[in-house]
Amino acid sequence: MGEVGEIRFRQLFIDGAFRDAASGATLEVIEPATEEVLAEVQAAGAAEVDLAVTAARRAFDDGRWSGLDAGQRARILFEMARILDERRGAIAPIESRDAGKTLFDSGKIEIPFAAELLRYYGGWATKLHGQTSLNKPGTLLYTLRQPVGVVGAIVPWNFPLLMAMWKVAPALAAGCTVVLKPAELTPLSALELADIAREAGLPDGVLNVIPGLGSVAGQALVEHPGVDKIAFTGSTAVGQQVMRTAAGSLKRLSLELGGKSANIVFADADVDAAVKTALTGIFYNKGEVCAAGSRLLVERPIYEQVVEAVTAKAGKLTLGSPLEKTTRMGPLVSAGQLERVLGYIEKGKAEGARLCCGGERDTSATGGKGYFVQPTVFADVDPAATIAREEIFGPVLSVIPFEGEAEAVKIANGTAYGLAAAVHTADGARGHRVAQALKAGTVWINTYNMYDPDLPFGGFGESGFGRELGGHALDLYTETKSVWTHLG
Ligand code: NAP
Ligand code: MG
């Protein structure tokens, strides 16, 4: 395997082989903790996108994958899971260095979850059933669920491997072929996935991985007539652009976009537990989480107590190299993201919110280098303020007081997004009542940021549409065909 964390793949993976871009174009992958170049990776242009789509098209049309016995497809997904688990120790440091996430997060949470998804969807491969209907005498009515075809998967940088797997695993289980475009900032783990697929015996052309710029490779993939479906995770602005482009060929489309999720704490809640989840809700992966609990809504009687507790605990989160065991928060992913987050912090101050802790770039633990931002807590945030409405995608929490259930729901729903939300209360009925009233694709009760392969995830409103994970994800990668047979 070579040295732990050694970067072995820097090329495009097309039709079962690693290869250079004809143009010689490359991406410089920067390590956010050191600001140094971690790798130079080949960058796909329109020509390489065309090669990858052509390979995926051929691999789909000749049935080398969709025409296999479903049990055989399942076994290949299980084998990919086994190899991914086996290589966890080598891939986790690569993912951590590339995305600035702690080794605990990449190695103990995200890679195991990615492997679990391969097993979960491997299980589904043999269970994709249609329906039969006996409604009309003299007929046989039934449906078939068939793979949608060539899938273009476009993913962001916050969970590079995991977001790719949310798409690749169900798409492969359904019998689709895939062209995956990782984020330009974080292409390395997707190339590891390509190698794992090859090793596991996935036929050539079934999974292609093409690092490249969104505006070039991503755009070309969405435009390409050989692609049947685009599965996109990213920002709302780019999602809108993708939707406009996909409209040209009426490609199937699913969009997982941004969020401004509300984490609601009622006065009867277990305050210690709520504070703990408020912290993981916003500071997990330095707040670069689409479902981050970036708005903490606290009922008046416990408001000051919660603000104090969250502030005290946030101030103690250790910033540092993602590879250090003691680190609780790594750097933001890029200089651009650093600037964006600091800009929002300035806006928060200017609009009159109370800065309780953080608020600064902090490279004290890393010798002056790295895109680190202190865990930042603003209290008394006006629900109409910029930092309460716009997605910051960084370690910045806006705490907002409320009085009573109706006001909590009103504030929580007062955004264009609708990805996730949480309710903390000791009153079971209230938990479910508020869950029903919230405009969000996922609601957690008395916890935050929990995911299971079996529980669908996706957005309301400007957070996008379509549901990933669970059986629902298979709807994204299959077409339903109705067959009406006249029995005479
Ligand atoms: P982004 O800029 O929207 O990029 C997402 C992906 O789209 C990247 O691979 C990007 O390539 C590509 N892209 C850019 N322009 C494109 C175009 N014109 N056509 C096709 N593809 C294009 O988002 P990001 O900055 O990487 O990620 C942060 C955002 O993702 C946040 O808003 C966050 O909420 C959202 N997100 C949502 C979820 C969810 O499940 N709902 C999960 C994670 C993240 P480049 O890398 O070259 O820009
Ligand atoms: Mg981008």
**Can you give the pLDDT of all 488 residues of the chain as single tens digits?**
446 679 999 999 999 999 999 999 999 999 999 999 999 999 999 999 999 999 999 999 999 999 999 999 999 999 999 999 999 999 999 999 999 999 999 999 999 999 999 999 999 999 999 999 999 999 999 999 999 999 999 999 999 999 999 999 999 999 999 999 999 999 999 999 999 999 999 999 999 999 999 999 999 999 999 999 999 999 999 999 999 999 999 999 999 999 999 999 999 999 999 999 999 999 999 999 999 999 999 999 999 999 999 999 999 999 999 999 999 999 999 999 999 999 999 999 999 999 999 999 999 999 999 999 999 999 999 999 999 999 999 999 999 999 999 999 999 999 999 999 999 999 999 999 999 999 999 999 999 999 999 999 999 999 999 999 999 999 999 999 999 999 98
Q: Which residue has the tokens 């040209």?
A: 248
Nearest C-alpha to atom 21 of ligand 1 is from which residue? 218
Please, is 367 exposed, middle or buried when counting C-beta atoms within 10 Å of its C-beta (0-12, 13-18, 19+)? exposed
Q: What's the 3-state SS for the chain?
A: CCCCCCCCCCCEEECCEEECCCCCCEEEEEECCCCEEEEEEECCCHHHHHHHHHHHHHHHHCCCCCCCCHHHHHHHHHHHHHHHHHCHHHHHHHHHHHHCCCHHHHHHHHHHHHHHHHHHHHHHHCCCCCCEECCCCCEEEEEEEEECCEEEEECCCCCHHHHHHHHHHHHHHHCCEEEEECCCCCCHHHHHHHHHHHHHCCCCCCEEECCCCHHHHHHHHHHCCCCCEEEEECCHHHHHHHHHHHHCCCCEEEEECCCCCEEEECCCCCHHHHHHHHHHHHHHHHHCCCCCCCEEEEEHHHHHHHHHHHHHHHCCCCECCCCCCCCCECCCCCHHHHHHHHHHHHHHHHCCCEEEECCCECCHHHCCCCCCECCEEEECCCCCCHHHHCCCCCCEEEEEEECHHHHHHHHHCCCCCCCEEEEECCCHHHHHHHHHHCCCCEEEECCCCCCCCCCCECCCHHHEECCECCCHHHHHCEEEEEEEEECC
Nearest C-alpha to atom 4 of ligand 1 is from which residue? 234
Nearest C-alpha to atom 34 of ligand 1 is from which residue? 258
Catalytic residue among 290, 356, 357, 468: 290
Q: CA torsion angle for 188, 189, 192, 193 (degrees, to 10)?
A: -140
Q: Give catalytic status of residue 290 as yes or no.
A: yes
pLDDT value of position 4: 66
Give the Å distance between the CA of 452 and the centre of ligand 1: 23
Tell me if the pTM is above 0.85: yes
Give the Å distance between the CA of 213 and the centre of ligand 2: 9
Q: Give catalytic status of residue 256 as yes or no.
A: yes
Catalytic residue among 256, 288, 405, 468: 256
Minimum-distance ligand 1 atom for the alpha carbon of 259? 34
pLDDT tens by residue, 254-264: 999 999 999 99
| Non-local CB neighbours of 384 within 8 Å, separated by 6+ positions | none
Ligand nearest to C-alpha 219? 1
Please, is 430 exposed, middle or buried when counting C-beta atoms within 10 Å of its C-beta (0-12, 13-18, 19+)? middle
Give the Å distance between the CA of 81 and the centre of ligand 1: 26
Give the Å distance between the CA of 375 and the centre of ligand 1: 24
| Ligand 1 site, CB within 6 A | 154-158, 163, 181, 183-185, 213-215, 218-219, 222, 233-235, 238, 241-242, 256-259, 290, 391, 393, 419, 459, 464
Give the Å distance between the CA of 333 and the centre of ligand 2: 11
